[in-house]
């Protein structure tokens, strides 16, 4: 089966220690035909500095690309975390690198002044408010950064919700529809991200009802990513994900 992991981090991301070559070898072992590194840039992140040494990143990538040519295609990408505090810097970075970085993920990690990865939003705010503020943040990313090739882990915040099993998407349907419609209108893609399984969820990001809604609104284009930060997570849950994608008739970019 032809599979691509277009959301992978290596030690060029602040939150990964994985050597790039280990990630590439894991991808080959998993039978992938193409991968894209999507290192983190989140300007002014409140908890950690998510910047990338771009010259070193590009140099390493070039060298592995030729070393592994014939075995796997390797693309250069960036996952750009966008929020009102960093929009200007993010757009300037995009303009500076768009000719050399071929794949951009637009993500919302920070909202209400923090990242749910580091902040315990759910015990300090009503669940409803967390979801509403988060989806507002996602819509902001989609509207202000219409250049992303795909939009990452659309319901990322679920990972941190202690009551995620009870989460009712219908409650946020107007916000979700606005997000999905904007993605479709811009001709961009929706990411299907399997990092969710590592966080105890039993479905990809976004959850299936959102994927079905995307299709109902006319969306077809998707990308697939494991959000791996270590070699063992490369392409995790891909065989079942790809089976579902094929049966739904979605188009993989």
In this complex, which beta carbon is closest to Zn ion, that of residue 5 or of residue 79? Answer: 79
Among the listed residues 139, 6, 170, the one whose alpha carbon sits nearest the alpha carbon of residue 72: 6
Burial class (CB in 10 A: 0-12, 13-18, 19+), 26: buried
Structure tokens at 244: 């579902």
Shortest Å distance, C-beta 216 to Zn ion: 26
Pairing assessment for the beta strands 4-8 and 34-41 based on DSSP bridges: parallel
Nearer to Zn ion, 11 or 217 (CB): 11
10 binds Zn ion (CB under 5 A): no
Q: Quick one: 161 or 227, whose CB is closer to Zn ion?
A: 227
* Binding segment toward Zn ion, per CB under 5 A, in 27-35, 213-221, 222-230, 243-251: 222-230
Residue number with CB closer to Zn ion (49 or 70): 49
Cβ-count burial of 34 within 10 angstroms (0-12 exposed, 13-18 middle, 19+ buried)? middle
CB of 152 to Zn ion, least distance (A): 5
Q: Which residue has the tokens 């796997």?
A: 72
Q: List the one residue from 227, 231, 238, 241 that touches Zn ion (CB under 5 A).
A: 227
Q: Judged by CB under 5 A, does residue 191 bind Zn ion? A: no
Residue nearer to Zn ion on the CB measure, 107 or 150: 107
Binding mask 193-212 for Zn ion (x = CB under 5 A): --------------------
Alpha carbon distance 170, 20 (integer Å): 40
Q: Which of residues 57-96 bind Zn ion (CB under 5 A)?
A: 79
Which residue bears the tokens 């795909």?
A: 150
Q: How far is the CB of 169 from Zn ion (least distance, A)?
A: 20
* 107 part of the interface to Zn ion, by CB under 5 A: yes
Q: How far apart are CA 183 and CA 149, in angstroms?
A: 10
Assess contact for 133 and 173: CB atoms under 8 A: no
Number of residues that bind Zn ion (CB under 5 A): 3
DSSP label at 204? Answer: P
Say which DSSP state 102 is in: -
CB of 12 to Zn ion, least distance (A): 12
Tell me which stretch binds Zn ion (CB under 5 A): 63-71, 118-126, 136-144, 224-232.
224-232
| Residue 176 vs 233, nearer CB to Zn ion | 233
CB of 106 to Zn ion, least distance (A): 10
Beta strands in the chain (DSSP E): 4-8, 34-41, 73-81, 103-107, 150-151, 189-193, 221-225, 251-252
Q: Please, are residues 112 and 125 in contact by the beta-carbon 8 Å criterion?
A: yes
Question: Applying CB under 5 A, does 42 fall inside the site for Zn ion?
Answer: no
Q: Please, which residue, 5 or 227, has the CB nearer to Zn ion? A: 227
Residue numbers at the binding site for Zn ion (CB under 5 A):
79, 107, 227
């Amino acid at each position: 089966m032809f599979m691509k992991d277009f959301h992978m981090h290596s030690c060029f991301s602040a939150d990964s220690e994985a050597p790039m070559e280990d990630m590439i070898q894991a991808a080959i072992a998993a039978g992938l035909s193409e991968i894209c590194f999507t290192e983190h840039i989140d300007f002014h992140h409140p908890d950690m500095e998510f910047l990338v040494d771009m010259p070193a990143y590009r140099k390493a990538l070039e060298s592995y690309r030729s070393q592994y040519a014939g075995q796997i295609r390797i693309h250069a990408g960036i996952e750009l975390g966008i929020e009102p505090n960093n929009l200007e810097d993010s757009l300037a970075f995009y303009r500076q690198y768009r000719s050399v970085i071929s794949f951009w993920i637009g993500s919302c990690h920070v909202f209400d002044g923090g990242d749910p990865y580091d902040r315990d939003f759910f015990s300090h705010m009503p669940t409803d408010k967390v979801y509403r503020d988060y989806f507002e943040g996602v819509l902001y990313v989609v509207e202000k950064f219409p250049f992303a090739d795909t939009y990452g882990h659309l319901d990322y915040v679920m990972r941190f919700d202690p009551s995620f099993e009870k989460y009712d998407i219908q409650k946020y349907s107007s916000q979700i529809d606005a997000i999905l419609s904007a993605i479709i209108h811009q001709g961009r893609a929706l990411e299907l991200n399997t990092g969710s399984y590592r966080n105890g969820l039993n479905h990809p990001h976004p959850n299936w009802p959102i994927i079905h809604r995307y299709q109902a609104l006319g969306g077809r284009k998707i990308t697939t990513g494991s959000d791996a930060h270590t070699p063992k997570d490369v392409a995790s849950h891909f065989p079942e994900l790809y089976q579902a994608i094929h049966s739904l008739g979605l188009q993989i970019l």
